[in-house]
Amino acid sequence: METSTASISQLAAGVGDMVRQALDRYTQFSEDCPPRLCEAIRYSLLAPGKRLRPLLVLMSAEACGGDMEAALPAACAVEMIHTYSLVHDDLPCMDDDDLRRGRPTCHKQFGEALAVLAGDALLTMAFETLAGHLRPARVAADCCLELARAAGPMALVAGQADDLDGETAAPDLARLESIHRRKTGALILASVRLGGIIARASRRQRSALEEYGKRLGLAFQITDDLLDVAGDENTLGKRAGKDADRGKLTFPGLLGVDESRRRAEQLVTEAVAALRRIGPQAEGLEALARAVLERNH
């Protein structure tokens, strides 16, 4: 498996363009959508995010012998859910942030009420995109179920609720991992599973994707916590040092920077090892996992 860091960046840029164009097409609303709402949705969704989750959907499908084009609606649906979660997370009643993806947050730009509605619209549009654009219907239904579970009250929403509570809870590694398995990990795991569903992956391929996705999700969160400690605000496109300011439970806070880094590396090694069960066509996923470790934003 030899995809280099340079070639994964090129691949990611190419796939990122493909995803951006599709997101642009999915947000060409009729005049029934009020112009300010349309603007708020597109402002957040088309902002320059890393598109990690869409990349995972598309590369997982490809790794299992599927077609990236066929998986594009699922890649966009996951990005819609992710963007909705960021818009709502940034609200004053949640994390109260003013900078996201290098721009003022949605509520800073459009006001709180419209930001809530833009998030609501993105959440709904994700399922419309899956149901309306994936074929056959059985695959669309399976993908709807997968994404709904990952975004729902036992996963993404649960992790967020516990994270808000975590600001006052006693430090505990099991609790921290449980929060991030749901808040960050569930959508990352769903991304690789969606790719597998669309590619009609074998049982062996699905179990490899599962192992890869779980480990990558946790590694991604640990690097997110490390960047909050040491990252540069301009590169990050969001405020740094927020976790410590809020007394949040984090991996470096609990384990220290060096041990957190070691854990992230170990998780990526294990994630990559799981890909051997898929074969050489999983090299994009391997490069993506390594890029998560090296990321600076």
Q: Which is nearer to ligand GRG, 153 or 171 (by Cβ)?
A: 153
Task: Give yes or no for a contact between 106 and 40, defined as CB atoms under 8 angstroms apart.
Answer: yes
The Cα 190–Cα 18 span in angstroms is 20
Q: Which residue is nearest to ligand GRG (CB)?
A: 49
Cα 261 from Cα 267, distance rounded (Å) = 10
Residue pair 155/182 in contact by the 8 Å Cβ criterion: yes
Closer of 239 and 277 to ligand GRG (Cβ): 239
Q: Write down the least CB distance from residue 52 to ligand GRG, Å.
A: 5
Cα distance between residue 81 and residue 125, in whole Å: 9
Distance of closest approach, residue 160 Cβ to ligand GRG, in angstroms: 4
What's the DSSP call for residue 247? T
Residue closer to ligand GRG, measured from CB, 133 or 239: 239
Q: How many CB atoms lie within 10 A of CB 105?
A: 24
CB of 143 to ligand GRG, least distance (A): 20
- Give me the least distance between CB of 273 and ligand GRG, in Å please: 24
Q: CB 211 → ligand GRG: shortest distance, Å?
A: 20
Identify the three-state secondary structure at position 159. Answer: helix
CB nearer to ligand GRG: pick between 99 and 273: 99
Q: Tell the smallest beta-carbon distance from residue 204 to ligand GRG (Å).
A: 29
Closer residue to ligand GRG in complex, CB, 81/201: 81
Q: Is 214 exposed, middle or buried (CB count within 10 Å of its CB: 0-12, 13-18, 19+)?
A: buried
Q: How far is the CB of 280 from ligand GRG (least distance, A)?
A: 27
Closest CB to ligand GRG among 66 and 159?
159
Nearer CB in complex with ligand GRG: 88/214: 88
The answer to whether 210 and 278 have CB atoms below 8 angstroms apart is no
Can you say whether the dihedral through the CA atoms of 114, 115, 119, 122 is positive or negative? positive
Task: DSSP letter for 169, please.
Answer: S
Which residues form the interface with ligand GRG (CB under 6 A)? Answer: 49-50, 52, 82, 85-86, 88-89, 101, 156-157, 160, 183-184, 221, 224
Count other C-beta atoms under 10 Å from residue 264's C-beta.
23
Distance CA 37, CA 49 (A): 20
Q: What's the half-sphere exposure (Cβ side, CA atoms, 13 Å) at 234?
A: 0
